[in-house]
A and B are shown apart, each in its own frame.
Chain A
């Protein structure tokens, strides 16, 4: 149990997907202008990460490892994730239209989100067990959601700030990310 808690907080705070591992930067800068879309994106990514980890783990250990074709993991995982995203999109569209309207446009973008493919590789690299992989995915997703939420809050305020002309838009967003990263560095002593 302690190990699961350590993995969760390690993934969410210490080894944060965005600020430490640089995964999922495109949605981080692209969707962090408004809090509402940031939350939708964060939830969608967490959901896909969880399902992707739950599906790729058995595929890796019960299909690729017995046949000795671990090298195929890049090809297999990206195909699995791409089709999963399609299936999740269809399922949400059929069952919950409100949720679909909130998350819909973000789901196709997630296919090429390196954070999702990244977490499946990390699960394999760290040789996590099935439950550890799920907790790691949940932690990584929550960390992503948290940072996206903080970032969007700051950027909404930044709109009204008198930023030097050359820094407007993306440069100041990078500088903000750097300060956020400094703050998250303090979590390093936690585990």
Chain B
């Protein structure tokens, strides 16, 4: 059981996929304009990552080494198609606002990376823990970035139409640059520097 917790927690801070490993940045930066998007993206991502880890781990003794990458890609692509269809069916508005970034989870290096580096060498339970941990780490990162961008870019925070709070003054004259694509670059650049200053990540 201790290895379960160790695998679960390591993905959140020590090997956070976004801030430490800097993998899979495309969806993190592209959809992090609102908290709704962050929830949707994280949900889709965690489901695909955990399921792909389970399947890869379950078939790890049967897949020949030489063809493993194509096999992993087909597994991931199938799971992504399933999640994409589910989102189109049950959450059409969210699916529309995430757009092509849901099918693009296929080429997200984190998922293939976990299959290659972890799931094909470890048991199913450990692979679930690893998938959950990395998924939560991804979620934390995308939430943090969306939080900052939505708060400064619109002056208020909303979650699925439910207003959480607003900053007086800023909601009339929001700093719209944070909602523009380059706002994402600015936020992640400053966050990375801040984490180094605080000693969470290492200097180069």
Residue positions of A touching B, CB distance < 8 A: 19-26, 29, 71-75, 78-79, 82, 112-114, 117-118, 121-122, 125, 164-175, 177-182, 185
Residues of B within 8 A of A169 (CB): 204
Determine whether the beta carbon of A117 is less than 8 Å from that of B203: no
Residue positions of B touching A, CB distance < 8 A: 22-23, 25-27, 29-30, 70, 73-74, 77-78, 80-81, 84-85, 99-100, 103-104, 106-109, 112, 180-186, 188-190, 192-194, 196-197, 203-204
Tell me the bound Cα distance from A21 to B80 in angstroms. Answer: 20
Count, A-B residue pairs, CB within 8 A: 120
State how many angstroms separate the Cβ of B105 from the closest Cβ of chain A: 9
Determine whether the beta carbon of B104 is less than 8 Å from that of A171: no
Determine whether the beta carbon of A175 is less than 8 Å from that of B78: no
Tell me the bound Cα distance from A118 to B185 in angstroms. Answer: 20
Determine whether the beta carbon of B104 is less than 8 Å from that of A178: no
Determine whether the beta carbon of B204 is less than 8 Å from that of A75: no
Residues of B within 8 A of A78 (CB): 73, 77, 106-107
Which applies to chain B's interface (DSSP): helix, strand, loop or mixed?
A: helix
Could you say which of A24, A72, A118, A178 contacts B189, with CB atoms under 8 Å apart?
A: A178
Tell me the bound Cα distance from A162 to B64 in angstroms. Answer: 50
Determine whether the beta carbon of B203 is less than 8 Å from that of A168: yes
Residues of B within 8 A of A164 (CB): 193
Given contacts A26-B109, A122-B100, contact A74 B22 (CB under 8 A): no
Determine whether the beta carbon of B189 is less than 8 Å from that of A174: yes
Determine whether the beta carbon of B185 is less than 8 Å from that of A23: no
Given contacts A22-B25, A71-B85, contact A117 B182 (CB under 8 A): no
State how many angstroms separate the Cβ of B102 from the closest Cβ of chain A: 9
Determine whether the beta carbon of A19 is less than 8 Å from that of B104: no
Could you say which of B26, B77, B100, B109 contacts A75, with CB atoms under 8 Å apart?
A: B77
Determine whether the beta carbon of B204 is less than 8 Å from that of A174: no
Q: Among A20, A112, A172, which residue has the most Cβ atoms of chain B within 10 A?
A: A112
Residues of A within 8 A of B73 (CB): 78-79, 82
Residues of A within 8 A of B196 (CB): 165-166, 171
Determine whether the beta carbon of B204 is less than 8 Å from that of A22: no
Could you say which of B81, B107, B189 contacts A112, with CB atoms under 8 Å apart?
A: B107
Could you say which of B29, B70, B184, B193 contacts A171, with CB atoms under 8 Å apart?
A: B193
Tell me the bound Cα distance from A19 to B26 in angstroms. Answer: 11
Given contacts A29-B22, A168-B203, contact A117 B180 (CB under 8 A): no
The chain A residue with its CB closest to the CB of B102 is A74
The chain B residue with its CB closest to the CB of A122 is B100
Tell me the bound Cα distance from A165 to B193 in angstroms. Answer: 9
Q: Among A71, A79, A175, which residue has the most Cβ atoms of chain B within 10 A?
A: A175
Residues of A within 8 A of B29 (CB): 22, 25
Determine whether the beta carbon of B182 is less than 8 Å from that of A178: yes
Tell me the bound Cα distance from A22 to B109 in angstroms. Answer: 14
Given contacts A79-B74, A118-B104, contact A174 B192 (CB under 8 A): yes
State how many angstroms separate the Cβ of A52 from the closest Cβ of chain B: 12
12 new A-B contacts at CB < 8 Å, known A22-B29, A75-B81, A165-B196? A22-B181, A26-B23, A71-B81, A75-B74, A112-B107, A114-B104, A166-B194, A171-B192, A175-B185, A181-B182, A182-B182, A185-B180
